[in-house]
């Protein structure tokens, strides 16, 4: 079992190194991104088979569902980031109007609802393929899998020689700005 854990950790680390390298490249890396997504999917499929005793067809279908909803989620996360940046920009204007703030806050609430909807649809689709017991095991597995991926990515971003986009990870804002930006109004 220990050997298996080391192998899984090594595989995830190799994939995340690829993700990290890709994160610091221009967005014209779609072929590389697809290759890495395919590798992560293959790893996840293998783990679903070996750890949860799912058959290959079920594991493959689960990974297909994950990829579909990952792409939808990425769009929403990007939308949320852009909306939050727009809200920050509003506060740089001394004559900011409350109706503009309200509109962006409403947009953020709508985006968050969209994110929850995507998560719920993904879970509903997955649960329709599995028994209750299998779905419970899948949820635990998926949470651990995502946590491990995030952990390794954050380690790689932190260790990146350029510190990733915007400087060294964890440095915070430039010295001329308060830690969480200017207080609103």
Write down the domain spans for the chain: 2-159
Cα(161)–Cα(158) distance, rounded to whole angstroms?
8
For range 98-116, the mean pLDDT: 94
Q: 119-153 in b/e burial notation, b at 16+ Cβ within 10 A?
A: eeebbeebeeebeeebeebbeebbeebeeebeebb
Chain centre to alpha carbon of residue 84: 17
Residue 40: per-residue pLDDT: 85
Q: Decide if pLDDT at 151 tops 70.
A: yes
Whole-number pLDDT of residue 160? 63
Q: What is the mean pLDDT of residues 146-150?
A: 85
The answer to whether residue 172 scores a pLDDT higher than 50 is no
Residue 71 Ramachandran class (φ > 0 left, ψ -120 to 50 alpha, else beta): alpha
């Amino acid at each position: 079992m220990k050997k298996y854990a080391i192998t899984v950790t090594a595989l995830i680390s190799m994939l995340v190194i690829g993700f990290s390298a890709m994160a610091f490249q221009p967005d014209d890396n779609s072929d590389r991104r697809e290759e890495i997504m395919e590798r992560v999917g293959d790893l996840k499929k293998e783990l679903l088979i070996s750890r949860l005793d799912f058959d290959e067809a079920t594991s493959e279908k689960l990974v297909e569902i994950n990829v579909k909803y990952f792409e939808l989620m990425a769009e929403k996360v990007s939308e949320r980031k852009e909306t939050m940046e727009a809200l920050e920009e509003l506060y740089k204007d001394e004559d900011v109007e409350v109706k503009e703030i309200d509109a962006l806050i409403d947009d953020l609430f709508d985006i968050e609802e969209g994110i929850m909807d995507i998560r719920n649809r993904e879970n509903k689709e997955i649960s329709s393929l599995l028994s209750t017991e299998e779905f419970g095991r899948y949820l635990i597995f998926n949470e651990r899998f995502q946590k491990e991926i995030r952990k390794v990515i954050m380690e790689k971003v932190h260790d990146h020689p350029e510190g990733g986009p915007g400087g060294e990870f964890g440095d915070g804002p430039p010295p001329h700005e308060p830690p969480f930006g200017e207080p609103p109004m």
